């Protein structure tokens, strides 16, 4: 087995160990698997069997992944455990803020003498920002049953509900991150000052993933129409935008220069969005798709995907099992790289069509085929009209984002001047809102999706891809 194959399968079994760790009793199982793996290794050594040696190594990689997940979460829990069940006044620094309709959701890092992180649901006022030093007074509790999975993706094991909030100091965080969030807030404010409220909210969602201003009805319409990903900053979303930017740059620059210019645009996008962990993960996923398009060898991207996923999971192993955004980005990326080329062979036999609809269809369908079972398992429904809505809306998203960035950039200098490009983007936003509301009238269908069905679905898709690949190899061989 070649080195690149060894690395790939080693990472895959490490990730599988992390994914299945929450459902296993590793304390007893680890010892059993280690004994079995050790026995296989000893037999392999005695008989000179490379295959048995590899089986032993892969089993150990799986156990190593499970132990890594366990150790990471035990460490996070031990930090906050002494405070759970107490009423306290604690000092903390804000590291993440999400504005909701009537509240603020914060993640704070506790200051000495305490350590660890805490989830806080605070009242809408006083508003706080990244880097603010706070004194929080209230009850510290374990997460409720309906929210613990959501919090576990960020390794949060304790929460405070509507504590008293006293700000001690502003902007006391990392100066670079503070500046990035200031840029984000400035961009959102510029949108509000140059566009109607509903259009400003959608533009902030598309360019920055900001959804605080969406009302319940609009959120429901996006879910029903299958367009929520437009404001989710997923790897799929970024890859669509990146490919469109690459196409536009290709009209003016050489191929390599266009590629690097597009990567620069992705980096700028991350900066504008505040460089949050979820945005960085999505940018990495989107950049892999961009790289696959650039080198024209999608089969060689297997290790790049595996190594990137492993790096992100090492930083926080909980994202693999509990972060829906990470899962959707990951499987959509696999769909675009491995499924889309086969769909292109049937869909793109002619010219791209009006508004590049064939490209949008193959890209959307390849991603939808892969995310379908995860959406059914986690959300419980799937949009029947998502293909149609995405075909007629995706072509306009890159232009919308480009104008959104331009408005934000001009707004840093003079907000009145930003109204000029705002006139153009307003037309696009009205169209996009109209599409979302039109298709949002059709609700998705629901069906149960168990873990067994999910694995069966992906096994069938994988089998079909292997068959098509084998058939393609045979055809090339006969030729």
Most confident of 28-42, 137-151, 295-309: 137-151
Q: Are 318 and 294 in contact (CB under 8 A)?
A: no
Count the domains in the chain: 3
* pLDDT band, very low/low/confident/very high, at 432 (cuts 50, 70, 90): very high
Q: Are residues 224 and 168 in the same domain?
A: no
Q: Are residues 194 and 304 in the same domain?
A: yes
Q: Is residue 479 part of a domain?
A: no
Domain boundary among 60, 78, 96: 78
Mean pLDDT to the nearest integer, 282-289: 72
Q: Is residue 439 part of a domain?
A: yes
Q: Is residue 474 part of a domain?
A: no
Q: Is residue 456 part of a domain?
A: no
Q: Are residues 318 and 437 in the same domain?
A: yes
Q: Are residues 200 and 54 in the same domain?
A: no
Cis check for the bond before 270: say yes or no (omega within 30 of 0).
no
Q: Are residues 102 and 187 in the same domain?
A: no
Q: Is residue 25 part of a domain?
A: yes
The range of the structural domain enclosing residue 24 comes to: 3-78
Q: Are residues 108 and 15 in the same domain?
A: no
Q: Is residue 473 part of a domain?
A: no
Between 257 and 213, the more confident residue is 257
Q: Are residues 217 and 265 in the same domain?
A: yes
- Produce one character per residue of 302-324: b if its CB has 16 or more CB atoms within 10 Å, e if not: bebbbebbbebbeebbbbbbbbb
- What pTM, to 2 d.p., does this model score? 0.71
Q: Are residues 202 and 232 in the same domain?
A: yes
Domain boundary among 46, 78, 110: 78
Q: Is residue 476 part of a domain?
A: no
Half-sphere exposure of 105 (CA within 13 A, CB side): 11
Mean pLDDT to the nearest integer, 377-391: 69
Mean pLDDT to the nearest integer, 41-50: 60
Instruction: Read off the CATH number of the domain in which 114 is found.
Output: 2.40.50.140
Mean pLDDT to the nearest integer, 370-383: 68
DSSP state of 381: -
Q: Are residues 335 and 439 in the same domain?
A: yes
């Amino acid at each position: 087995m070649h080195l690149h194959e060894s690395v790939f399968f080693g990472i895959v079994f490490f990730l599988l160990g992390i994914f299945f760790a929450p459902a296993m009793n590793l304390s007893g199982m680890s010892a059993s698997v280690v004994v079995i793996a050790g026995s296989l290794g000893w037999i392999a050594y005695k008989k000179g069997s490379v295959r048995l040696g590899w089986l032993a190594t892969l089993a150990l990689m799986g156990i190593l992944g499970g132990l890594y997940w366990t150790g990471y979460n035990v460490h996070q829990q031990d930090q906050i455990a002494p405070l759970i069940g107490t009423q306290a006044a604690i000092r903390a620094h804000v590291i993440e803020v999400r504005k909701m309709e009537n509240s603020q959701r914060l993640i704070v890092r506790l200051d000495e003498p305490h350590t660890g992180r805490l989830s806080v649901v605070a009242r809408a006022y006083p508003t706080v920002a990244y880097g603010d030093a706070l004194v929080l007074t209230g009850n510290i509790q374990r997460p409720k049953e309906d929210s613990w999975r959501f919090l576990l993706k960020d390794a949060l094991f304790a929460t405070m509900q509507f504590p008293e909030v006293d700000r001690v100091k502003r902007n006391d965080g990392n100066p670079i991150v503070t500046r990035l969030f200031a840029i984000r807030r400035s961009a959102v404010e510029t949108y509000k000052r140059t566009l109607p409220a509903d259009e400003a909210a959608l533009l902030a969602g598309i360019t920055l993933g900001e959804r605080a201003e969406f009302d319940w009805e609009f959120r429901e319409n996006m879910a029903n129409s299958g367009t929520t990903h437009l404001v989710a900053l997923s790897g799929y979303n970024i890859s669509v935008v990146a490919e469109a930017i690459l196409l536009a740059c290709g009209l003016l620059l050489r191929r390599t220069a266009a590629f690097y210019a597009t990567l620069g645009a992705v980096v700028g996008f991350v900066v504008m969005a505040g460089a949050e962990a979820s945005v960085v993960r999505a940018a990495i996923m989107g950049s892999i798709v961009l790289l696959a398009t650039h080198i024209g060898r999608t089969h060689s991207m297997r290790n790049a995907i595996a190594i990137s996923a492993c790096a992100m999971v090492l930083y926080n192993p909980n994202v693999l099992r509990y972060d829906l955004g990470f899962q959707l980005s990951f499987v959509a990326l696999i769909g675009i790289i491995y499924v889309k080329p086969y769909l292109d062979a049937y869909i793109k036999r002619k010219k791209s069509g009006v508004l590049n609809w064939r490209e949008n269809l193959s890209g959307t369908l390849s991603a939808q085929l892969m995310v379908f079972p995860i959406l059914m398992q986690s959300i419980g429904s799937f949009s029947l009209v998502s293909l149609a809505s995405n075909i007629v809306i995706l072509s306009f998203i890159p232009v919308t984002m480009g104008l959104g960035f331009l408005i934000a950039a001009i707004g840093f200098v003079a907000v009145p001047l930003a109204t000029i490009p705002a006139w153009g983007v307003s037309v696009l936003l009205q169209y996009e809102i109209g599409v979302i509301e039109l298709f949002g009238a059709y609700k998705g269908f629901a069906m149960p999706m168990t873990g067994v069905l999910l694995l069966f679905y992906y096994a069938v898709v994988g089998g079909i891809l292997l068959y098509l690949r084998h058939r393609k190899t045979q055809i090339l061989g006969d030729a």
